[in-house]
Amino acid sequence: MKGLSNTNNKVSIRITGGHSFSVPATQGRISEVELLTERTLLVPEQFYAADGCRAAFTAAGMPLDEEDATLSIRTDKGMMALIALSSETLEKLHSTFGDEVHYTTPLLHPVGNIEPTIWICDTEDLIYIKVYDPKLQMAEVIAIQSEADRDYLLSRLCAACDPKRYTVRLTLRSNNKQTLKLYKNTFKRLQCE
């Protein structure tokens, strides 16, 4: 894991292959920890069962290893996020932040829009996508390794969702002007958040 940012008593941590991480000092207690990992699912709470987490990840094409654990994050909106991480990483999170911290993921970001909307959070190597028309149709995290991956993903998204019909709301977590230009050229109805 790698600490990414730490502002307003919130921290964002990228889950990587490693098991150690450090968090810079804050002005007080950490209240929210955002976990960035492609091993994230969004499921309706009505279908959630703690003993079914492994089956849910397997069904999504991400079978878990024996040493993997899952973290379930409930919301008040009827959705849950399931995050897969190693047992060691989960223990480290609990020992570092305690039991009072609120865990979250970009997939739980509220969109609050009923018109056809594509919400995208691009963190450079992970792209979080939610499609609403008018209700949630899709929620996914996709790992990318190159600009060609990003370009291909956006072209497939345009093929599935008519860019003239959907408003695209983008959160870009980098200062990469080329990436922003790609989004502007791909989606004419783009709103940056």
Q: Based on the domain organization, do 44 and 122 belong to the same domain? A: no
Residue ranges of the alpha helices (H) in 25-77? Answer: 53-59
- Full residue range of the structural domain in which residue 59 is found: 2-105
Q: Based on the domain organization, do 10 and 88 belong to the same domain? A: yes
Q: Based on the domain organization, do 56 and 116 belong to the same domain? A: no
pTM assigned to the model = 0.86
Q: Based on the domain organization, do 92 and 180 belong to the same domain? A: no
CATH number at residue 162: 3.30.420.260
Q: Based on the domain organization, do 64 and 130 belong to the same domain? A: no
Task: Report the run of H or E that residue 168 belongs to, with start and end.
Answer: strand 167-172
Q: Based on the domain organization, do 101 and 115 belong to the same domain? A: no
For the stretch 76-128, pLDDT in tens is 778 899 999 999 999 999 998 888 899 999 999 988 767 999 999 999 899 99
Prior bond of 44 cis (ω within 30°) = no
Q: Based on the domain organization, do 91 and 133 belong to the same domain? A: no
Between 26-40, 148-162, 168-182, the lowest mean confidence (pLDDT) is in: 26-40
Specify the higher pLDDT residue, 193 or 3: 193
Q: Based on the domain organization, do 6 and 101 belong to the same domain? A: yes
DSSP for 52-66 reads GHHHHHHHTT-PPPT
The total number of structural domains in the chain stands at: 2
Q: Please determine, for residue 20, whether its predicted confidence score (pLDDT) is greater than 50.
A: no
Beta carbons within 8 Å of 117's beta carbon, 6+ residues apart: 111, 131, 132, 133, 166, 167, 168, 169
Q: Provide the pLDDT for residue 19.
A: 42
Q: Based on the domain organization, do 85 and 125 belong to the same domain? A: no
Q: Based on the domain organization, do 41 and 17 belong to the same domain? A: yes
Q: Based on the domain organization, do 69 and 143 belong to the same domain? A: no
Q: Based on the domain organization, do 117 and 29 belong to the same domain? A: no
Beta carbons within 8 Å of 57's beta carbon, 6+ residues apart: 39, 41, 63, 64, 70, 82, 84
